[in-house]
Amino acid sequence: MLWLIALASGVAIIYFAVRYGRFRNWVEPVLSVAVALGLAAAFLIWLSEGTPERAPAPQPRTSAAGITADDIALEGLSFDASESARSYRVRGTIENASEFTLEYFRLTVTLEDCPDDTCRRIGDDTALILVRVPGGQSRPFETFLTFPFRADEAPVAPKWSYQVSQVRGAAAR
């Protein structure tokens, strides 16, 4: 609805500017200042949003249903190289120890290359895993993760670490 008002206002301003010279004399500077202020506001909003590198990592938190990251356990995680050199297929089982139904969780995985007991951090990726697990049960899950490294820097001795950073549950039905 707002776009319709803006369109009608724009058509009216153009009509009056073409039709009446006195209107044109004062509307041009006013519109120029309004456009400049709009661009400055858009630039300030863009600056204030920040970049993903500056954003803090999400912390484990409790969902509305009372389930926490401590209520779930990941078992049998396997990381298999996918067709793409930088992509890995992650498989595992999630066990829900709470009385609430788990709807989804976020899994943050860090990849390090550790040949000769000296580790070099390659990167991390976070996946949203949609899996419905009733309280006291377990379910398998699968996802893909992508890590930033050049083809000639592929990990020789990969070391994986992971953390559940967010869970969402619902009351048992």
- Domain span at residue 35 reads 2-49
For the stretch 112-168, pLDDT in tens is 888 887 888 888 899 999 999 998 999 999 999 888 776 667 778 888 899 998 898
pTM: 0.57
- For residues 124 and 160, state if they share a domain: yes
Domain at 76, CATH number = 2.60.40.1620
pLDDT digits (tens, 9 = 90+) for 50-101: 555 545 555 544 444 578 888 899 999 998 887 776 788 999 999 999 889 9
Q: Which residues contact 155 (CB under 8 A, 6 or more apart)?
A: 111, 112, 113, 122, 149
**58 domain residue, yes or no:** no
Check whether residue 86 and residue 152 sit in a common domain.
yes
